Amino acid sequence: MTLGDPDSRNGGRAAAAMAVLAGLALACTVAPLMADGSVIRRHDADPVVAALLDGRGSLSFALLAGLLGAALGLGWAIAASALGQRAERRMMDAANRLLALPLILLVPLAAGLAGGGVGLLAATVAAATAPAVAALAHAELRALMRREFLTAARAAGLSEGTILRRHLIPNARRPLLAAGALALPRALAAESFASLLGLGLPAPVGSWGGSVGLAARLGDGLALAPPALLLAVALWGLCAFAEGLRR
Amino acid sequence: MISRPVPPPVETNALTLLSGDRVLIDRATLAVGAGEVLAVTGGAGAGKSLLLRALAGLPLPGIDQTGSARVDGRRLLIAQGGMLAPRRPLTMQAAEIVGHHLGLDTSASLRRMADALDRLGVPAAARRFDLPPDRLPDGLRWTALFALALAVGPAVLLADAPGAGLDPTVRLRLLHRLADWARGNAVALILAGRPEDGVAGPASRVLALRRGRLLPAPPPLPSPVLVPRTGGTGAPLLSGRGVSVSFALGRTAKGAERRLTAVHETDIDLAEGETVALLGETGSGKAMLARALAHLPAPSGGRVSWMGRDLAAADATGMRRVRRDLQILFPDPAASLDPVQTVGAQLAGILESLRPDIPADRRARRIADALEEAGLRAEIAPRWPATLSAVEAARVGLARALLPEPRALVCDEPAATLSAGERAMFRDDLLGLRDRRRLALLLATEQAGEGLRHADRGLVLLMGRVVESAGAGALLHGARHPLTRAMLAAARGEAPQLDGEAPSALAAPDGCPLRPRCPNARSFCSQAVPALEEIAPGHHVACHYWDTP
Amino acid sequence: MPRYALRRLTEALPATLLPVAAGLALAAMPGPEAGGALGLLVALALTLLLVLPALAVGTAVGALAGAWAGLAPASAAGRLGRLLAAAGPTLPGFLLAAVAALAVRAGASAAPLGWTALALPAACQAARLARPAMEQALGGALGGGALLTAQGFGLDERTVLRGHALPAAIAPALGGFQNAVLAGLVGTVALESLLALPGAGALMIDAARNGSVAGVLPALCGLCGLTAFLTALGAIARDWADNRWADNRGIRR
């Protein structure tokens, strides 16, 4: 107690992260209006507005690919838990092996080799983030399955279906959500990395990573700072949000 | 005391510890002479650790101290929990500590440590101290800590909750050895612990800390006279025949299945209104057996029947009818409640499942009654499990078990999370309920004395096998098996005649599993697992040499 | 070489050598733009040279600063540790690589900047892990724990800190080394590509830009092998930290 309550501290950080993310998303949405009331062409915009415009691409792609990765990872973990011991061991072994590989490198490679459509990029990013989600979600599910209140529910004669509906799902919701949220910052980082190398989101869709990469190549510090800062803030917000969900 | 020519090595006069203006320890005055063993008992938060830390010269930051405390000579504190640096090999830590105090080099330090281990009765074969402490069994870790203290050879040794978490048999044996060493080497030894930890057993004097005051402990209550109970007649309600519990461990290289057997074929009966105590050390399989009898989960082998009906053959409806009559109390009541449902909602769900005969509009009444019976008020129903105290959670667990109006309760170390006083109250309420409702109880516990005093019969388990079973009185006063005797001796605070810890089920010794620890062991003990034989009417023992005194 | 290091290396051998060998074999195959096996080997060596010192120094500095942040939050080292721990995920290696590339174009020298850009994320990660571990080791002293046991056995504060608290803080930082390796490798690839250094990462990205599978695969295999090797080095460092003064003379007589 003297060391401060970690729960409330984490909860506060999660709330702050939500606020920051909401503000960022709002700013990116209204950025075109901020310039001169109409949609502007990106090249003559001042760097801050351009970065905000890029944010629309980066954030919506991170949301899309992150949700896809979360769904893939959660499906992986749930399937592993449901399919019996041997399948569980194999599937989670595979996830752990994949975790040890630099999967993020596959994102620019896939974009470069296959010609970079948004759909393909999202699929690659989702596949690269899924093992981490699967490993965490599986650990949470395993811990949940061992909890004593499930034995108590069996002692009350509840059927397995009722236990699943009344006890397992309500208790699994939050940890699974937290595991899934892990995919969001990873998806944003993966996309930014690929775009930075020029092998990410296709040119008409702006992205923070792409602008940072371009500015670095051109040696334009003024153009580099705003997207880099916004990217850092967004990454912090997404990470803090995912951690806050984990309690 | 003060008129002695040599002043005692530990002496305090009106030692007061304050946190701000709150008095934590109020004018504690004590003196411990060389070779004296003092026990300080008190419940959780009574201030034992504070007192010991003050004596060790390691006061908590933010604690003010008035009055005098004098400790002469080298003093050591074995801190609560007995944690060593978890990942560093123990030899290294021992060499560092012994070397620091005595100025010895590594090999001389380790030689001293080995001598100390000899004195504590650890056979050389069991010394696996090149491992880091987090891979040592608990008993060995505590033994190593005590040996470390012996090797340093202090003038004053302070031990805070020594051996907490060990089986009473192992803990009491160690504490007695430590006390003998202190007496033989003129060391002032202070053992602090909760009253139920048995630290008073080896001590020559006991002080109790209560509400900040350090006073002589009241003499222990005379054990209640055994009232012969009349339960246990008629046909058994619950009976297990050849019940065994085992787990698959994967396959060997040759493809044969490896299994770990936690409970070997065991027969057990529980008659209407009868109380049976299931006694054993940690890992003896008593909890597994208790749960297997309630089909939580079903046993791997054998047959459990309720009023003559085989549970394995029962369908869902039949099983629900059995569960209505046979309920269970869990060792950690708080963990057995679903954290995302209120207490009332959980109880209602159980009532709906087990007592469909009670109409929905009368469920609230029944829940309130059950809560009241368990010593709670009905206002607890809308609360969330996380807001309950340990006592409340235990009583909610009891209310849940009483809800369907069962005829038998399986209690797996009930209320193990409560302190001694709370547990005694809980136990009295449970026994009162048993007598009022003629409940049959199956009580799995490691507290042999306490368990037997309230039971009709007792079964003692050792590594998944029953080694002695008899009426409670016969066990309390005429136990024959060395393990039963050791458990009862530990419950009385005496030194149990057993060495070391229970072996792991993965490395069970040949023959009698108690052989490596038993004082009566002979060569024949390693050849065959002793069978249960009847030595008196209703008294069974599984020991080759039960008639050896 | 100590036994545990040999064991770790042998364990990591298949995961390291097989991908590298596969990469070399693929590179040696005659193809449209194969730089040859030797070229890949040199490129991998350059990547290793970039990433290994940065990871080692970053993890060491971060772990120490994080431990200090747990011990004395108000001191200079403590402030640094807190800063690093808080920065954590906001500073991915590729972003710092871009900043470094910008500075290099503005005339700064490449090597120290590149190493710093790669070391910072590793330091942040290590500080993030070390700080709570140190706080726990010290906080444990209030209610028990290994630290109080050591104090109770009469060790002085210096020994307790150096021998017990510090290892407790550093162990998790080394335990998280695998993540640092993965992040460091991503940063290295970005750095090589932006600064046009002839490393395996730049080789791979250039091939990807040209859409050449035959150019991408050898470098990718090589980088996977490099990851396994670096992870094994982290495990060795962790074992070393645990065994620092271990000796094999038991108390068995």
- Domains of chain A plus CATH, in order, are 6-37+45-245 (1.10.3720.10)
In the beta sheet, which residues pair with residue B79?
none
Cβ contacts of C220 on chain A, cutoff 8 Å: 105, 109
Q: Is C176 helix (H, G, I), strand (E, B) or coil?
A: coil
Q: Which of A149, A154, A169, A177 to mutate to test the interface with B (most CBs of B within 10 A)?
A: A149
Q: Which of residues 122-151 of C touch B (CB under 8 A)?
A: 140, 142-146, 148-151
Question: Which strands sit side by side in the sheet containing B205-210, from one edge to the other?
Answer: B75-78, B156-160, B188-193, B37-41, B205-210, B213-216
Burial per residue of B223-248, b for 16 or more beta-carbon CB atoms within 10 angstroms, e otherwise: eeeeeebebbeeebbbbbeebbbbee
Stronger pLDDT, A9 or A97, i.e. the higher one: A97
Tokens of residue A182, six digits: 């892990």
3-state secondary structure of B304: strand
* pLDDT at site B138: 84
Rounded Cα–Cα distance for residues B526 and B493 (Å): 30
Look up residue B125 and give its two tokens: 């074969």
Task: Say yes or no: B48 and B146 in one domain.
Answer: yes
CA gyration radius for chain B?
26
Q: How many domains does chain B have?
A: 3
| Exposed / middle / buried, residue B506 (Cβ in 10 Å: 0-12, 13-18, 19+) | exposed
Q: Where are the beta strands (DSSP E) in B311-429?
A: 326-329, 408-412
Provide the CATH number for the domain formed by C18-26+35-242 in this structure. Answer: 1.10.3720.10
List residues in chain A touching C: CB distance below 8 A.
Answer: 2-3, 99-102, 104-105, 108-109, 111-113, 115, 185, 189, 192-193, 196-199, 209, 212-213, 215-217, 219-221, 224, 228, 231-233, 235-236, 239
Closest residue in chain A to residue B293, using alpha carbons only: A155
List the single residue in B81, B128, B130 with the smallest CB-CB distance to C144: B81
Region C46-66: mean pLDDT is 93
Q: In whole angstroms, give the CA distance from residue A70 to residue A180.
A: 4
Residue C152 is nearest to which of B78, B88, B128, comparing CB atoms?
A: B78
Strands B205-210, B257-271: pairing kind: unpaired
Backbone φ and ψ for B12, nearest 5 degrees, come out as -125, 150
Residues B418 and B483 in one domain: no
pLDDT tens-digit readout, B67-76: 888 888 899 9
CB neighbour class for B358 (10 Å; exposed up to 12, middle 13-18, buried from 19): middle
> Do B363 and B393 fall within a single domain?
yes
Question: Is C140 in the A-facing interface, judged by CB distances under 8 Å?
Answer: no
The two beta strands, B465-471 and B457-462, are: antiparallel
pLDDT value of position C247:
40
Question: Across the interface, do C101 and A216 touch by the CB < 8 Å criterion?
Answer: yes
Q: Quick check: A199 pLDDT over 70?
A: yes
* Spatial separation of the C-alpha atoms in residues C62 and C85, rounded to whole Å: 8
Mean pLDDT of A95-106: 91
The verdict on B395 and B288 lying in the same domain is yes
Q: Any CB–CB contact under 8 A between B399 and chain A?
A: no
Whether the pLDDT of residue C13 is over 90: the answer is no
How close, in Å, is residue B411 to chain A by CA atoms? 13
Contact B349 A166 (CB under 8 A): yes
Closest C-alpha among B479, B435, B469, B473 to residue B456 = B473
Does the distance separating the beta carbons of B349 and A152 come in below 8 Å? no
ipTM above 0.85, yes or no: yes
Residue B363 identity:
R
Distance of alpha carbon A56 from alpha carbon A66, whole angstroms? 15
Same domain, B198 and B65: yes
Alpha helix ranges (H) inside chain C: 3-28, 36-71, 76-87, 93-105, 110-143, 145-152, 157-160, 166-175, 177-195, 200-209, 213-242
Determine contact: B294 vs chain A, CB below 8 A: yes
Of the ranges A42-51, B452-461, C134-143, which one carries the lowest mean pLDDT score? C134-143
Are B217 and B205 spatial neighbours (Cβ–Cβ below 8 Å)? no
pLDDT value for C46 = 93
Q: Positive or negative, the Cα torsion across C132, C138, C139, C141?
A: positive
Domain coverage including residue B486: 447-549
* Best residue of C147, C149, C161, C249 to probe chain B, by most B CBs closer than 10 Å: C149
Sheet holding B22-32, edge to edge: B22-32, B10-19, B64-71
DSSP string, B176-216: HHHHHHHHHTT-EEEEEE-GGGTTTTT-SEEEEEETTEEEE
CATH number of the domain that residue B416 is part of = 3.40.50.300
% of residues, chain B, pLDDT over 90: 38
Helices (H), B282-327: 286-293, 316-325
- List, for residues B218-248, the tens digit of each pLDDT value: 766 555 555 545 555 667 889 999 999 998 8
Tell which of B416, B436, B456 closes a domain.
Answer: B436
Please report the number of interchain residue pairs, chain B to chain C, with beta-carbon separation below 8 angstroms. 107
> What tokens does B178 get?
């430590």
- What amino acid is encoded at B226 in this protein? L
Write out chain C residues lying below 8 Å of B114, CB-based.
251-253
Pick the closest to residue C178 from C83, C48, C59, C62 (CA basis).
C59
Q: Is there a single domain that holds both residue B432 and residue B452? A: no
Residues B70 and B110 in one domain: yes
Contacts of B527 (CB under 8 A, 6+ apart): B510, B511
Among B501-505, C198-202, C237-241, name the one with the lowest average pLDDT.
Answer: B501-505
* For chain C, domain boundaries: 18-26+35-242
**Do B409 and B502 have their domain in common?**
no
Q: Does B376 lie in the same domain as B341?
A: yes
pLDDT of residue B366: 92
Name which of A109, A192, A231 is nearest C220 (Cβ-Cβ): A109
Exposure pattern of C83-96 as b/e (b: 16+ CB <10 Å)? ebbebbbbbbbbbb
Does residue B297 have a cis peptide bond before it, meaning omega lies within 30 degrees of 0? yes
Residues B247 and B208 in one domain: no
B185/B46 same-domain check: yes
Identify whether residues B468 and B537 lie together within a single domain. Answer: yes
In degrees and rounded to multiples of 5, residue C189 shows phi and psi of: -60, -45
Final residue of a structural domain among B191, B216, B241: B216
Residue B505 above 80 pLDDT? Answer: no
Q: Which residue of B has its CA nearest to C239?
A: B87
Distances in Å between the Cα of B28 and the Cα atoms of A199, B12, B162, B208, B518 are 75, 7, 22, 11, 42
Percentage, residues of chain A above pLDDT 70: 90
CA A45 vs CA A42, A48, A52, A187, B337: distances in Å: 5, 8, 10, 27, 59
**Rounded Cα–Cα distance for residues C171 and C67 (Å):** 11
Interface size between A and B, measured as CB pairs under 8 A = 53
